[in-house]
């Protein structure tokens, strides 16, 4: 069968690469000619471990191709996977313009029967609207059907998440569509959950929003731990042994970011309100996360009072390790607030600097290693738990910083190790540690 994938972002490109990896012939469509050319060279336009190798191997072996010629690509497609973005509108609703643009292109050019599979995250009921639109606009005599097939990949592990998924969800309204998708995914040898389209759409939102809820819940517990003298790391460990809870998404920090959780929580909240219902847990999840992002900034303000003229080291810019994605990253709002205070920022991130320069091209200084950022700094903020950052010895802070005062938004260090070091350390859900020696304390207070 001829498979076409519309869109080469995280969803579309990983889908196309992984389908070709298991033996399917796939053509990926994108409007950007430069993007298409670099993908043909085996270079992914997004940072995703393992993806370059899949692109290069499957393109060379003839199973994977890339094109801007959507007219020819859609003309004889048996299956079209839609993996374009559904960005958040100002009111929190999902913008479906890209989805329906692709649908218009499919309807205009398709010349044989086709199954259109929506992988993009869309509000409940969207697949019904997509099918109605396609049937109204496709040429006479063509049988066209729509299925929902949400993705559950995580940036940084997207290839593994697709090739070794915990489950494959397909939302269909006919046996014909179900059988077609079962044939597509047969080679993945993974559990398939078959349901109707609306349930499949809801599974995606419910899954992402539940994980976001877990993160916000743990951050609320962490904040309370600080008030009562408990340690959130020990609390999370004790909880994790309960099989009803598990050990995933129990890590306290400065909130979630990325392309999914912020957008999907707001979209479901909006959709519920639009249907006359408020999901209070989702509303609370969003509010907690927005507040949590600035937790370390507030700690620094409490500690220093005024940040004007301070040299600030920022370690970690991306929303999480393993990706160059900055969407909704806590670093963005924190950097803005620190700059507004009149501080000087020197920033380090292993892969996120080029993208961050698009936001702040000249306002902050970028360096290629964490040591350069820490040199003579008055304080350090840790916003992403990259291994390159977690691996920094605490003695490096002592040696390089003017005053080794650390605001760790990702709990990169164990308290027992911090207590053996001559640093001042603030983290999430744990006691603060102040082991600055007398000279450092005097220097710090003099500069306030």
Q: Is 49 left (phi over 0), alpha (psi -120 to 50) or beta?
A: beta
Cβ–Cβ under 8 Å, residues 83 and 15: yes
Tokens of 379: 């304080």
Cβ–Cβ under 8 Å, residues 316 and 326: no
Residue 257 annotated in ligand binding: yes
Which of 103, 114, 260, 412 is catalytic? The answer is 260
Please report the DSSP string for 325-389 in residue order.
Answer: --TT-HHHHHHHHHHHTT-EEEEE-SS-HHHHHHH-SSSSEE-SSHHHHHTT-SEEEE-S--HHH
Residue 253 annotated in ligand binding: yes
Residue 249 annotated in ligand binding: yes
Tokens of 95: 């913008």
Contacts of 380 (CB under 8 A, 6+ apart): 312, 313, 314, 315, 373, 374, 397, 401, 404, 405, 406, 407
Place of tokens 């994605």: 325
Burial class from Cβ neighbours inside 10 Å (0-12, 13-18, 19+) for residue 365 reads middle
CA pair distance 43, 167, nearest whole angstrom:
28
Place of tokens 């349901």: 195
Residue 50, SS3 per DSSP: coil
CA pair distance 167, 77, nearest whole angstrom:
26
Q: H or E segment at 398?
A: helix 394-400
Residue 420 annotated in ligand binding: no
114 as an active site residue: the answer is no
Q: Report the sign of the C-alpha dihedral through residues 71, 72, 77, 83, in that order.
A: negative
CA pair distance 122, 119, nearest whole angstrom:
8
Please report the DSSP string for 161-173 in residue order.
Answer: HHHT-S-EEEE-S
Cβ–Cβ under 8 Å, residues 237 and 231: no
Tokens of 317: 């810019």
Binding residues for NAD(+): 30, 35, 86, 121, 263, 327
Numbered residues of the known binding site for substrate: 204, 249-253, 257, 320
Q: Would you list which residues are annotated within the binding site?
A: 30, 35, 86, 121, 204, 249-253, 257, 263, 320, 327
User: Which residues are annotated as catalytic?
Assistant: 260
């Amino acid at each position: 069968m001829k498979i076409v994938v519309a869109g080469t972002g995280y969803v579309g490109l990983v889908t196309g690469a992984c389908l070709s990896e298991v033996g399917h012939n796939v053509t990926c469509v994108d409007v950007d000619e430069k993007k298409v050319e670099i993908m043909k060279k085996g270079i992914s336009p997004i940072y995703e471990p393992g993806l370059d190798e899949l692109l290069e191997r499957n393109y060379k072996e003839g199973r994977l191709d890339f094109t801007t010629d959507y007219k020819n690509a859609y003309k004889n497609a048996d299956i079209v996977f839609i993996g374009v973005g559904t960005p958040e509108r100002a009111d929190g609703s999902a913008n479906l313009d890209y989805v329906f643009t692709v649908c218009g292109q499919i309807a205009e050019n398709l010349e044989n029967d086709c199954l259109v599979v929506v992988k993009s995250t869309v509000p409940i009921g969207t697949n019904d609207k997509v099918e109605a639109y396609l049937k109204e606009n496709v040429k006479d005599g063509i049988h066209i059907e729509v299925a929902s097939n949400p993705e559950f990949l995580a940036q940084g592990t997207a290839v593994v998440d697709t090739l070794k998924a915990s489950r494959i969800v397909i939302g269909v309204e006919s046996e014909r569509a179900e059988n077609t998708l079962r044939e597509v995914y047969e080679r993945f040898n993974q559990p398939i959950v078959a349901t109707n389209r609306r349930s499949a759409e809801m599974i995606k939102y419910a899954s992402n929003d539940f994980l976001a809820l877990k993160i916000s819940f743990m951050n609320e517990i962490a904040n309370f731990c600080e008030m009562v003298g408990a340690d959130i790391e020990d609390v999370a460990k004790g909880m994790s042994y309960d099989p009803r809870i598990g050990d995933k998404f129990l890590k306290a920090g400065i909130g979630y970011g990325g392309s999914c959780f912020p957008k999907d929580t707001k979209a479901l909240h909006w959709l519920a309100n639009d249907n006359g219902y408020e999901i209070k847990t989702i509303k609370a999840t969003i509010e907690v996360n927005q507040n949590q992002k600035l937790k370390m900034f507030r700690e620094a303000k409490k500690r220093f009072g005024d940040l004007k003229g301070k040299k600030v080291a920022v370690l970690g810019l991306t929303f999480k390790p393993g990706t160059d994605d900055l969407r909704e990253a806590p670093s963005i709002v924190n950097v803005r607030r620190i700059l507004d205070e009149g501080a000087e920022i020197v920033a380090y991130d292993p892969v996120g600097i080029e993208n961050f320069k698009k936001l702040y091209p000249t306002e902050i200084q970028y360096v290629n290693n964490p040591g350069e950022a820490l040199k003579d700094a008055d304080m350090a903020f840790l916003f992403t738990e990259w291994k390159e950052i977690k691996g920094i010895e605490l003695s490096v802070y002592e040696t390089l910083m003017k005053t080794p005062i650390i605001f760790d938004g990702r709990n990169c260090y164990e308290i027992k190790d911090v207590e053996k070091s001559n640093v001042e350390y603030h983290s999430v859900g744990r006691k603060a540690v102040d082991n600055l020696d007398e000279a450092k304390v005097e220097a710090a207070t003099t500069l306030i």
